[in-house]
Amino acid sequence: MNPMLIAFALQAAPAPDPCQVDRRASLALGQDAFDQDMNGGWRALAERPGCEGAAADLVRDYRALSEARIHILYWHEGQLRANIGQYPEAIRLMEQSRKPEDRFGWNPYVDATVAFLRGDRAALVAARDRLAALPRPPGFEDRVMAGGFRRTWPLNLMVVDGLVRCFGRPYHEAYGSPACRNPAAAQRTSR
């Protein structure tokens, strides 16, 4: 057989990039479609194995094109970067998500997460206690949201409790693991 044909046959076609998206279409989405659609925007990309870094870059690019300073986009890019171990960059982004007027405990949540990423347990617990002590705003009702997500007061306390419970573990585990978020429920499902 011809050696050139063998060499050509052995060359594998490049594997398609699993993180490939239509960037132009993604960047043209409105903010809700890009950021809050649980099955679209950056979230669809982030759900693909190995694509959280590409999703973080997509959020960064969307944020750069936006005329408004959208605090939650700094947060979501920071979370994606924390998930892949880019803690210094995640901290810088998360700190930019702070809100000047905060009635719902966002800033203590940011403080707790940043303390976790810095490995500062004392600051994490202090921020957790500040969050837990916030008075319920008038008219706020606990409820189950789309996808079964429970919105309870104070917001994000269950997440922060998971960070405290799983302090020292990687962020993606402490944030996303059922054993960290709700160990009683995790025990019930493992039986």
* Mean of pLDDT over the chain: 89
What's residue 123's pLDDT? Answer: 98
pLDDT band (50, 70, 90) for residue 69: confident
* Residues paired with residue 151 on neighbouring β-strands, in sequence order: 143
The mean per-residue pLDDT over the stretch 162-172 comes to 97
Which are the contacts of 116, defined by CB distance < 8 A and separation ≥ 6?
A: 124, 163, 167, 171, 174
Entry pTM: 0.85
What pLDDT, in 10s, does the model give residues 127-165? 999 999 999 999 999 988 776 777 899 999 999 999 999
Count of CB atoms situated within 10 Å of the CB of 115: 23
What's residue 146's pLDDT? Answer: 72
The mean per-residue pLDDT over the stretch 24-53 comes to 94
